[in-house]
Amino acid sequence: MRRHKLFIWAALLCSLLAGCNSQIPTLREWADQGIGQPVSQLQQIDAQPESYASRIGWKTKIYDLPNGNWVYVSPDRKDCEVHFEVDKAGIMIGYQLVGKGCRYQ
d(CA 51, CA 94): 22
- pLDDT of 70 > 60? The answer is yes
Q: Could you report the per-residue pLDDT of 9-52, keeping only the tens digit for each? A: 555 555 555 555 568 889 999 999 999 999 999 999 999 999 99
- pLDDT of 6 > 50? The answer is no
Q: What is the pLDDT of residue 57?
A: 94
Q: What is the pLDDT of residue 39?
A: 97
Q: Which of 56, 54, 53 is nearest to 82 (CA)?
A: 53
Q: What is the pLDDT of residue 47?
A: 93
